[in-house]
């Protein structure tokens, strides 16, 4: 039996699309698109409920939380105690609700020096990772591009696969792993698969799933489902999964061959009125691709 025959990752949807809405909207959407897992954003998905009420509501839901995501930028030095506290709170929330991962970010340090920022990252995360180890929850670092126009010097080393690998290996904690976002690598000007994945495969334990393509900036931003992003002088638009620039069939085959067993978390970044349809399309497309992989392997 080979890896593809047993490749059956759980599909989740991300709460990043529901930041100013009740938790029930996120859970109802998961049910509507036929998935049994979510990525919870903290505190954004919990703002309309007390912490205790949210935990009880999640416990009553038929699905599971695969990750708690927290918008902390771990290479910054202005509020290190505050950022550590937020991450530790997220780890403890993940522990209470049975989520194996906490997703977090590197950020825009204000200069470009990958060795120096890797040292800052290691120092900032040291007590956080000690807590992660005691709880048995894994911190996953997501690769990013300059989506918010703040990384003037391209200092976010997560946009460079080799620098990202070196930083994670320098820290050397089994509780620090990677959230591989293929579309984010494409927006950073990096080939997601095979190049970035080949560099990082041994450290990947979580995935964000969306598709992206270059945007035609001679035309206005479309009124349809999709959203435009920029990385310096380049423009991109999200698009239906499987129709963009990311080689998703190849990447899924690579995950299967690598023995990947984590979730696939959808974040299509569609406009709110098109959000449920975008999630449903992505979930259906993924199921078909996974089924094809298993059938091809069985026939072979």
Tokens of 75: 């290479």
What pLDDT does residue 280 have?
A: 98
Dist CA 256 CA 108 (whole Å): 33
4 touches 297 (CB < 8 A): yes
Res 2 pLDDT > 50 = no
pLDDT tens for 67-109 read 999 999 999 889 999 999 999 999 999 999 999 999 999 999 9
At 191-224, the pLDDT tens digits run 999 999 999 999 999 999 999 999 988 888 777 8
In 26-154, which ranges are E strands?
37-41, 64-73, 101-105, 138-142
Cα distances from 117 to residues 25, 97, 246, 294, in angstroms, run 38, 32, 29, 41
Statement: residue 260 has pLDDT above 70:
yes
Element (H, E) at 30: helix 23-32
Terminal CA-CA length for the chain: 11
CA-only gyration radius of the chain, Å: 18
How many angstroms separate the CA atoms of 130 and 176, rounded? 11
Residue 52: pLDDT over 90: no
Q: Which residues, 6 or more positions from 247, have their beta carbon under 8 angstroms from its beta carbon?
A: 192, 193, 194
Q: Are 247 and 196 in contact (CB under 8 A)?
A: no
pLDDT of residue 296: 84
Mean pLDDT for all residues in the chain: 95
Quote the percentage of the chain above a pLDDT of 90: 88
Structural domains in the chain, CATH included, are 3-299 (3.20.20.150)
Alpha-carbon span 212 to 144, nearest angstrom: 14
Residue 47 has pLDDT above 60, yes or no: yes
Q: Considering the entire predicted model, what is its pTM?
A: 0.96
Tell whether the torsion through CA atoms of 230, 276, 183 and 69 is positive or negative.
positive
Give me 204's structure tokens: 């990947």
| Alpha helical stretches, state H, 136-196 | 161-171, 182-187
104: Cβ–Cβ under 8 A, 6 or more apart, which residues? 69, 70, 71, 72, 74, 87, 90, 139, 140, 141, 142
299 pLDDT more than 90: no
Residues 108-128 have pLDDT tens digits of 999 999 999 999 999 999 999
pLDDT at 1 over 50: no
Q: Where are the alpha helices (DSSP H) in 153-274?
A: 161-171, 182-187, 197-200, 248-257
The predicted structure's pLDDT at residue 202: 98
Task: Please answer whether residues 36 and 62 qualify as being in contact, where contact means their C-beta atoms are separated by less than 8 angstroms.
Answer: yes
In terms of DSSP bridges, do strands 234-239 and 204-209 run parallel, antiparallel, or are they unpaired? unpaired
Contact 296, 7 (CB under 8 A): no
H or E segment and range at residue 288: helix 275-299
Q: Which two tokens stand for residue 57?
A: 């509501």
């Amino acid at each position: 039996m080979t890896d593809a025959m047993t490749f059956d990752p759980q599909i989740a949807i991300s709460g990043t699309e529901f930041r100013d809405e009740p938790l029930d909207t996120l859970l109802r959407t998961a049910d509507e698109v036929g998935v049994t897992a979510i990525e919870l954003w903290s505190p954004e998905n919990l703002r309309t409920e007390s912490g205790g009420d949210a935990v009880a509501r999640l416990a009553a839901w038929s699905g599971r939380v695969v990750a708690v995501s927290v918008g902390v930028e771990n290479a910054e030095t202005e509020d290190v105690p505050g950022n550590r506290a937020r991450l530790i709170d997220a780890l403890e929330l993940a522990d209470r609700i049975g989520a194996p991962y906490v997703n977090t970010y590197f950020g825009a340090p204000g200069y470009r020096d990958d060795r120096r920022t890797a040292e800052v990252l290691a120092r900032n995360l040291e007590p956080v990772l000690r807590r992660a180890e005691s709880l048995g929850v894994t911190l996953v670092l997501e690769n990013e591009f300059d989506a918010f126009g703040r990384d003037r010097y391209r200092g976010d080393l997560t946009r460079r696969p080799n620098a990202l690998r070196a930083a994670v290996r320098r820290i050397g904690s089994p509780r620090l792993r990677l959230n591989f976002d293929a579309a984010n690598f494409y927006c950073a000007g990096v080939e997601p698969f095979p190049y970035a994945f080949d560099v990082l495969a041994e450290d990947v334990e979580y995935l964000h799933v969306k598709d992206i393509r270059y945007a035609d900036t001679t035309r206005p931003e479309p009124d349809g489902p999709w959203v435009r992003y920029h990385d310096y002088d380049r423009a991109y638009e999200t698009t239906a999964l499987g129709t963009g620039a990311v080689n998703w069939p190849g990447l899924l085959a690579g995950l299967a061959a690598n023995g990947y067993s984590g979730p696939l978390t959808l974040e299509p970044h569609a406009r709110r009125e098109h959000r449920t349809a975008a999630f449903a399309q992505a979930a259906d497309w993924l199921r078909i691709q996974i089924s094809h992989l298993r059938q091809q392997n069985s026939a072979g």
